[in-house]
């Protein structure tokens, strides 16, 4: 999934902050016990998310797509003292693992884990967000973006994962999934309400700043 070779990836890891013991355990258990473990953000991307969150110092974060909670905990590192992170997911099978992971974290009291269809649960949140991380079903990236846009404060960040799709966005004859990714990327490119930048981190992070 990474767009750079293993040697360079290791060098980058050598020059960034280490993972906590809890994050290491979540990574290990996700790879051992969960289908499609590559969906986990991992060490380097996790440090990128943590850094961006700390730069924003968010009071409110929304995450769409919890998986096993790795990225959730990385994002939570930047919360203010009275901050709160809402994380939304539809996979009830992972609930026990996720709640256990959060319970072992110092940020547990700042996390609200909500199960259900994000198209419905987003509408139930009466909040203005400083930072939103979208990492769920890729075909709905545009839908989630539209649903949350008016709930993001001016100057807030929207971060979207997997926007380079393992480099498939360069294919001249893309499959349906890749077309969905490109359609979303083009949507953001054409949106003059935001500043935008794709970081070639792991599978591509679209960092979008609301003007």
What's the confidence (pLDDT) of residue 47?
98
Q: Assign domain 6-210 to its CATH superfamily.
A: Vaccinia Virus protein VP39 (3.40.50.150)
Q: pLDDT > 90: what percent of the chain?
A: 97
Angstrom distance (rounded) from CA 71 to CA 4:
21
Alpha-carbon dihedral angle through residues 74, 75, 77, 80, given to the nearest 10 degrees? -170
Which helix (H) or strand (E) covers residue 63, if one does? strand 60-64
Domain boundaries in the chain?
6-210
* pLDDT mean over 60-86: 98
73 in Cβ contact with 142 (< 8 Å): no
User: pLDDT tens across 19-28, in order?
Assistant: 999 999 999 9
The rounded distance, in Å, linking the Cα atoms of 159 and 100 is: 26
Residues 93-113: tens digit of each pLDDT: 999 999 999 999 999 999 999
pLDDT in tens, 197-211: 999 999 999 999 999
pLDDT band at 1 (very low <50, low <70, confident <90, very high): low
Cα-based torsion angle of the residue sequence 140, 144, 149, 155 in order, rounded to the nearest 10 degrees: -90
16 three-class SS:
coil
What confidence score (pLDDT) does residue 3 get? 76
Nearest Cα neighbor of 76 from 25, 112, 26, 126 is 112
The backbone torsions φ and ψ at residue 116, rounded to the nearest 5 degrees and listed phi first, read: 145, 180
Residues in a beta bridge with 159: 133, 207
| pLDDT of 188 | 98
Radius of gyration from C-alpha coordinates of the chain: 16
The pLDDT assigned to 164 comes to 96
Tens-place pLDDT, residues 41-62: 999 999 999 999 999 999 999 9
């Amino acid at each position: 999934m990474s767009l750079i070779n293993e040697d360079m990836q290791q060098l980058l890891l050598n020059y960034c902050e280490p993972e906590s013991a809890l994050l290491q355990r979540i990574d290990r258990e996700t790879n051992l016990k969960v289908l499609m473990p590559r969906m986990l953000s991992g060490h380097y991307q996790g440090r990128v998310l943590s850094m961006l969150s700390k730069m924003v110092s968010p009071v409110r974060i929304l995450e769409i797509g919890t998986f096993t909670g790795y990225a959730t905990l990385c994002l939570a590192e930047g919360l203010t003292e009275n901050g709160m992170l809402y994380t939304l997911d539809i996979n009830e099978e992972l609930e026990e693992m996720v709640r256990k992971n959060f319970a072992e974290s110092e940020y547990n009291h700042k996390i609200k884990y909500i199960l259900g269809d994000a198209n419905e649960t987003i509408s139930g949140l009466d909040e203005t967000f400083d930072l939103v991380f979208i990492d769920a079903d890729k075909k709905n990236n545009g839908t989630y973006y539209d649903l949350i846009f008016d709930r993001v404060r001016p100057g807030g960040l929207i971060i979207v994962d997997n926007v380079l799709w393992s480099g498939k966005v360069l294919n001249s004859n893309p499959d349906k999934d890749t077309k969905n990714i490109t359609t979303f990327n083009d949507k953001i490119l054409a949106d003059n309400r935001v500043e935008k930048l794709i970081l070639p981190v792991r599978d591509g992070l679209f960092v979008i700043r609301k003007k």
